[in-house]
Amino acid sequence: MAEIASDDKLLSGDTQCSFQTGWFRPGQWTFTPTFGPQRKYRLVPDRHNTLSRATVPVHDGTEAHRALDLRDEQGRRLVAIPMTPTLWIGGTNEGGLEDLIFSVKFIHVFTVANLALMSVPLRAGSNDFESWHGAPQESAEAVKRLERAGAHCVGCASMSQPTLCRGDGMMTPSSSSSGSACNVASMDDVHVALTTDTDGSTIGPAAYAGVYGFRPTPHSDLRNGMLVCNPLTDTPGIMARDPYHLVRAGTALLGLGSPANLESSGSSPPSVPKRLLVVWDQTETGMPGVTSMLRTVLDRFGEVLDVPVESSTLVGEFGGNEDWLAMLAHKQIQLSRSASYARFGRTFLDGFRTATGRSAQLTEEITEFWNEAEQESRVRSVADQVSELERRRTGLKNRLNRNICQNGETIIAFSIRGGAQPWYRNPNVRFPLTDSLSSMWATRNQIPDPVRLAAICGAPVVVVPIGQTTHRSLVTHEEMQVPVSICMMTSSGHDGTLLRVVESLAESGDLRSVKTGSTAF
């Protein structure tokens, strides 16, 4: 139960409210829960359906949350934004994040990583999951770290399918954290989204939506309270509207409190970068003006960091093709753990074909993959696959950390293949499954993918938007502005190095916030 109260200082327009129908006419309202301290909230609409559930913390000395189901007359979900900075009851507030508003990744479809929010039921890709497990008894560790630093959670982000937020209704930022990217890009009141990342679910959508992203080095303690998809690579991640909030939330997620504590990182203190290595086999886009923009910005990054900018290719740096088979093994383990998962794939294919009317050729390619996955699961046990993958992962990780990144002294820079604009191939809806499979086919052709390489090697990654380019939609046939982003990664454990790089670039004025909320939505 909740009480809705008006405030003369906030009223504008028609502010009548109907408790019977559960919606509220245009105007600004304050929301005062009847549970916990009498704290007031502004109600703002989620205009692009980026949240599947709005929440408010109970603030009763525990870390519990309550779902908030209020909508305006257009049926849009209303989100409660605290009117004053929040101090989490029982928290130390050492992180100084009491002015930070964040959302949490929450999945309704597909079995992928989720983050638990205390007292808010999880679906985990199954309508029966809630009845089996009930509401979580405590929040995920990643949620706790942000809230205990003072941050305020306002809801759970959706996935691509219910998030029709692009200009032509067909485009999404891809992957399972797509709703989180849309949420941060479109809602001015939400500064940060807490996501999960298996092999690109944070970095990809952040780049495509023109927001900042951070995938930390995976740690088992950070996965507490996560519903894990792949225990070898899963980790919480951060998306943010600006570099300031990315660094603040990132350091809190690492358990360091505030950016001032980066030097005392529990993994590795920040190294001083000595080289910026641009892997052009991933950064060449073929788009007029985009490649020159990338070259100019990367040269400027080198000046700010006072390091030489060198060009290379991942194939040239790693040499040989055998190690890239680790990626194939990685996806086979993830997607063929059991015959039931393969059967799920076939069910998905039928629905995908019906919903999208996609060509038979693509469907046949996906079907071929599922056939191979099923056959692989019959021939070799999961334990054998894991053992072989771990051996290959160790070799890749050692080569990346020691030989290429030189223990944090080299920063690898690249743009997601094709420029960071996945909608150049519209009307291809970016389902997370087909997105992952496209990288699988690239692996078969020995085309390395640095985003998934980072996941397999446990390397931290950040993504920063650097500008926009013009794209003519193949669906609406209208020109629209889409973001261009640059990714950077380094040795595992050197998360603080990347956050310091983002901080330095922001202080120099060389990072910009791409207003996708106003240009591409």
Instruction: Answer whether residue 160 shows pLDDT above 70.
Output: no
Top mean-pLDDT range of 61-70, 353-362, 511-520: 61-70
- Choose the weakest-confidence range: 134-148, 288-302, 450-464: 134-148
Output the pLDDT for position 139: 77
Output the pLDDT for position 54: 83
| More confident site: 515 or 244 | 244
Output the pLDDT for position 173: 72
| C-alpha–C-alpha distance, residues 369 and 364, integer Å | 9
Mean pLDDT, residues 414-427:
44
Mean pLDDT, residues 322-334:
48
Output the pLDDT for position 485: 84
| C-alpha–C-alpha distance, residues 112 and 39, integer Å | 35
| More confident site: 380 or 430 | 380
Q: Are 59 and 91 in contact (CB under 8 A)?
A: no
Mean pLDDT score of the chain: 67
Mean pLDDT, residues 176-184:
83
The percentage of the chain sitting over the pLDDT mark of 90, rounded to a whole number, equals: 10
Output the pLDDT for position 238: 95
Residues 6+ apart with CB under 8 A from 401: 407, 457, 459, 491, 492
pLDDT band, residue 377 (cuts 50/70/90) = low
| More confident site: 445 or 453 | 453
pLDDT band, residue 149 (cuts 50/70/90) = confident
Whose CA is closest to 193, among 237, 235, 231, 158? 237
Output the pLDDT for position 161: 46
| More confident site: 358 or 368 | 368
Q: In a 10 Å sphere around its CB, with 0-12 CB exposed, 13-18 middle and 19+ buried, how is residue 169 labelled?
A: exposed
| More confident site: 36 or 434 | 36
Pair type for strands 41-45 and 78-82: antiparallel
| C-alpha–C-alpha distance, residues 25 and 290, integer Å | 44
Domains and CATH numbers, the chain: 45-264 (3.90.1300.10)
Output the pLDDT for position 307: 92
| More confident site: 342 or 249 | 249
Pair type for strands 51-57 and 152-157: antiparallel
Output the pLDDT for position 431: 30
- Choose the weakest-confidence range: 175-179, 377-381, 477-481: 377-381
Instruction: Answer whether residue 111 shows pLDDT above 70.
Output: no
Instruction: Answer whether residue 460 shows pLDDT above 90.
Output: yes
pLDDT tens profile 192-221: 999 988 878 888 888 878 889 999 998 878
Mean pLDDT, residues 18-28:
38
- Choose the weakest-confidence range: 11-20, 117-126, 188-197, 354-363: 11-20
pLDDT band, residue 461 (cuts 50/70/90) = very high
Sheet containing strand 41-45, edge to edge, reads: 2-5, 30-33, 41-45, 78-82
Q: Please state the separation of Cα 245 from the chain's center in Å.
A: 15
Mean pLDDT, residues 73-95:
66
| C-alpha–C-alpha distance, residues 337 and 316, integer Å | 33
Top mean-pLDDT range of 345-354, 376-385, 406-415: 406-415
- Choose the weakest-confidence range: 117-121, 469-473, 512-516: 117-121
Output the pLDDT for position 328: 46
Output the pLDDT for position 514: 62
Task: Kindly write down the DSSP assignment for every residue of 310-327, as one continuous string.
Answer: EEE-HHHHH-SSGGGHHH
